[in-house]
C-alpha cells in the first residue's frame, strides 16, 4: 500500500490556540445571552396579571386573576341536564379536573399547562379563556 503524497491526507490540521479560545468565548457569550433572554421572558410573563374568564352559555360567570391566587381551590359548575365540571384553581393556573361530559376533552393534559389556550367543553357550553401575557413576551422558548 502506497502512502499518498498529498500533505493533507495524512494528518488533520489543529486550529490555532487563539482561534479555539475565541470560539470558546463566543460560545459562552451566546449561551449566556440565551439564558438571560429566557430568564427575563419568564420573569416578565410571570409578573403580568393572568386573567381567567369563565363563560357558560355565553355568559361571563367569573373572572379570576391567577397571578393573585395563593392557594389551591376548586370551583364546581353545574348546568342543564346534570352537566358538571370541576375547575382546579392554583397559583398561575386553572384547569378542568373533573367533568361528566362524554368525551372529557376539556380535561386533556395539554390544557393543564400554563398556556393561553382556551378550555372548551362543548357538551356543557363551557369556555374558559386566559389572557394577560405581555405583548413583547415570546410565545415559545426552545432549547
Domain-by-domain residue ranges, the chain?
15-46, 49-131
Helix (H) or strand (E) holding 32: helix 17-47
In the predicted structure, residue 5 carries a pLDDT above the cut 60: no
The grid coordinates of residue 7 equal: 500533505
The grid coordinates of residue 45 equal: 410573563
In this prediction, residue 4 carries a pLDDT of 54
More confident residue, 90 or 143: 90
In this prediction, residue 139 carries a pLDDT of 55
Confidence of residue 136 (pLDDT cuts 50, 70, 90): very low
- What homologous superfamily is domain 49-131 in, according to CATH? N-utilization substance G protein NusG, insert domain (2.60.320.10)
The pTM assigned to this predicted structure is 0.59
Amino acid at each position: 500500500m502506497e502512502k499518498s503524497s498529498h500533505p493533507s491526507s495524512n494528518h488533520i490540521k489543529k486550529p490555532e490556540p487563539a482561534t479555539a479560545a475565541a470560539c470558546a468565548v463566543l460560545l459562552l457569550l451566546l449561551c449566556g445571552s440565551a439564558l438571560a433572554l429566557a430568564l427575563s421572558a419568564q420573569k416578565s410573563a410571570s409578573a403580568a396579571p393572568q386573567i381567567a374568564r369563565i363563560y357558560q352559555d355565553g355568559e361571563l360567570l367569573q373572572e379570576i386573576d391567577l397571578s393573585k391566587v395563593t392557594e389551591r381551590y376548586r370551583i364546581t359548575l353545574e348546568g342543564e341536564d346534570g352537566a358538571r365540571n370541576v375547575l382546579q384553581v392554583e397559583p398561575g393556573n386553572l384547569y378542568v379536573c373533573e367533568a361528566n361530559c362524554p368525551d372529557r376533552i376539556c380535561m386533556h393534559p395539554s390544557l393543564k399547562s400554563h398556556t393561553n389556550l382556551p378550555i372548551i367543553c362543548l357538551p356543557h357550553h363551557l369556555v374558559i379563556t386566559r389572557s394577560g401575557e405581555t405583548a413583547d413576551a415570546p410565545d415559545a422558548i426552545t432549547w
